[in-house]
Amino acid sequence: MFARKFFSLELIVLSFQIFGGVSSVTNLADVPCGLQKRDERSPKIVSGFLSKPHTYHGEFPWMVSIKFKEGQHFCGGFVINRNFILSAAHCFDSITEKFSKLSMMKAVVGEHHHLKKEEPVDAIDINFAKIIRHGQYDQFNLSHDIALLKLETALEWTPFVQPLCLPDSTEETKISYGTIAGWGRTGEREPASDVLLQATVPILDNSKCQQFFNLAQFKFLVNTFQFCAGRFFGGVDTCLGDSGGPLMIREKISSTEQMTALGIVSLGKGCGRVALPGIYTKIASYIPWIKDQVLSQ
């Protein structure tokens, strides 16, 4: 059985920053996308690795914590414009009634630490107006695991609430590493993190990923709408609670550093296990669908 990763990051190996390589991006917002708030208190770089996996407030200002109204985090997501969040369809499966009712869920934007008030701006709760899951989504094998969440109230841009770039639908550039972030569990048997964490994972081509799965006797076929990321020996991975969050790359476009989401955290067998990298929804395959949905609402 595979594990849906709603309700983390296995952060045994410290993360490092990579400059990626897509030549163009899709920006659905009315401001530049993928721009981070700079902070002098950000983790120091030591021999190419971040000295700690914790993030600073505003480092990933598009990150969204999707919670029940009573405050329990269960999935991630990310802002793509003032009215929409992108996430994983399986977070809202109708097989679990509690996870499919709009009135029982909320999006929390601008959040960094679940338990602490942030200065100078605290997190903001916003209700959902609509959940749009891909029409071909299969809740049993998690094909087309992507969903758009329309917000009841349009977002106001701040240094702590910003949109993330999406890739171009035709982009097939080879990229070696991506950054993952989330509030999920820090191990299969560990609790979820109260503070947003990050890590870096190698991106695998599907044939290599399939070789790993075959070696681990994991009977899952990676399709062309998915990709894998993770180390052969495990240790760094997403886990329960990270579903719906982005796998991102950092790039320079016209001398400006931006971040682009290449994937959405979807599924995996356990967290950080040997020869079992995480599986992500390939966003580039869904750019036409995303545009159509956003423009038609």
30 is catalytic: no
DSSP state of 161: B
Catalytic residue among 90, 112, 114, 144: 90
CA angle 258, 263, 268 (to 5 degrees): 140
73 is catalytic: no
CA-CA distance, 177 to 202, in Å (whole number)? 4
Contact 79, 164 (CB under 8 A): yes
Catalytic residue among 15, 65, 87, 243: 243
Catalytic residue among 93, 145, 237, 242: 145
Contact 26, 5 (CB under 8 A): no
The letter for the amino acid at 45 is: I
In the Cβ-directed half-sphere of 196, how many Cα atoms lie within 13 Å? 27
Contact 274, 234 (CB under 8 A): yes
243 is catalytic: yes
Catalytic positions: 90, 145, 243
